[in-house]
Amino acid sequence: MNTSPNGTVAWEIVERIAWVKYNRPDKRNCMSPTLNREMAQVLEDLEFREDVGVLVLTGEGAAFSAGMDLKEYFRETAQQGLGAIRKAQRQAYGWWERLRWYHKPTIAMVNGWCFGGAYGPLFGCDLAFAADEAQFGLSEINWGILPGGGASKVVSELLPFRKAMYHAMMGENLTGRQAAEWGLVNESVPLTLLKERVTEVAGVLLGKNPVALRATKDAIRRVREMTYDNAEDYLIRAQEAADSFDGEGRKEATRQFIDEKSFKPGLGAYDLGGRPS
């Protein structure tokens, strides 16, 4: 494992999957300003590497992330004044935004505790898989604040209204299984099988046309806020823009299906022929 200068983030690349870990297990991987700065740098360093096709965000030890660091992110910046508070917010929100629009497909692998601020990067990742044993909580109400840092937005985006309201107001945790039932994550599996399942999903993504994947993930996020007509128009233009990056991809796929009859798009991806991402 490689680590960031202060050791708050660890990462390695294995067979084109970048495994990026919150690395403050003793502090349940809560997000300090140092961690936020270092995570931003690691994400930037990995984003356009040719040997990275998919990025997985997970946590070392018992936690995915226990949210914002109540001491270093909240109390210590408050003691330094508004400028420090805003700077810390920009650093945190900055890398979550980067994740939302990341060039490569991203997967959150929620191995344990996932609280409050951690919902930002959870939503930032395109897909999310949890351990059955994981615990998800909007604990803010338990210590006297509202779910900020995007967390209220995340549950409003991902959960039905009543469930979002209950989750935010009651301060009760969801298990990984419940989080999957409620739609906060795609699936949950026993912790012992989590990495295997995520590796399997990442492997499928690695077999898809990377230009199409980027266009697809951006499209799914963008159209949420558009009218139907605007979305239709955006999608025409987004596909044409994608064609300008990789006009040959769809032609080759069409050839393999119509002429060569070597694959069926309804049943899997066409052969990329060793094409790098």
**Please, which of residues 99-128 interact with ligand COA by CB under 6 A?**
113, 115-117
141 binds ligand COA (CB under 6 A): no
**Please, which of residues 199-238 interact with ligand COA by CB under 6 A?**
none
70 binds ligand COA (CB under 6 A): yes
Supply the minimum distance, in Å, between the C-beta of residue 32 and ligand COA.
8
Sign of CA dihedral 4, 56, 115, 192: negative
Supply the minimum distance, in Å, between the C-beta of residue 70 and ligand COA.
4
Q: CA of 6: how far to CAs of 26, 34, 262, in Å?
A: 14, 8, 50
Q: CA of 23: how far to CAs of 35, 232, 240, in Å?
A: 9, 42, 41
Residue from 10, 17, 20, 30 touching ligand COA (CB under 6 A): that is: 30
CA–CA distance, 254 with 260 (Å, rounded to integer): 9
Supply the minimum distance, in Å, between the C-beta of residue 113 and ligand COA.
4
Residue from 39, 40, 55, 66 touching ligand COA (CB under 6 A): that is: 66
Nearer Cβ to ligand COA, position 47 or 157? Answer: 157
DSSP state string for 181-219? HHTSSSEEE-HHHHHHHHHHHHHHHHTS-HHHHHHHHHH
CA–CA distance, 117 with 114 (Å, rounded to integer): 9
CA–CA distance, 127 with 84 (Å, rounded to integer): 32
64 binds ligand COA (CB under 6 A): no
Q: Which stretch binds ligand COA (CB under 6 A): 69-77, 124-132, 162-170, 175-183?
A: 69-77
Residue from 52, 68, 179, 206 touching ligand COA (CB under 6 A): that is: 68
CA–CA distance, 101 with 210 (Å, rounded to integer): 14
Task: Count residues binding ligand COA (CB under 6 A).
Answer: 15
Supply the minimum distance, in Å, between the C-beta of residue 114 and ligand COA.
9
Sign of CA dihedral 139, 142, 148, 154: positive
* Region of residue 55 (phi > 0: left; psi between -120 and 50: alpha; otherwise: beta): beta
Q: Which stretch binds ligand COA (CB under 6 A): 15-23, 62-70, 103-111, 212-220?
A: 62-70
In the chain, how many H helices and how many E strands? 11, 11
Nearer Cβ to ligand COA, position 140 or 252? Answer: 140
Q: Which stretch binds ligand COA (CB under 6 A): 67-75, 103-111, 242-250, 261-269?
A: 67-75
**Which residues of this protein are in contact with ligand COA, per CB under 6 A?**
26-28, 30, 66-71, 113, 115-117, 139
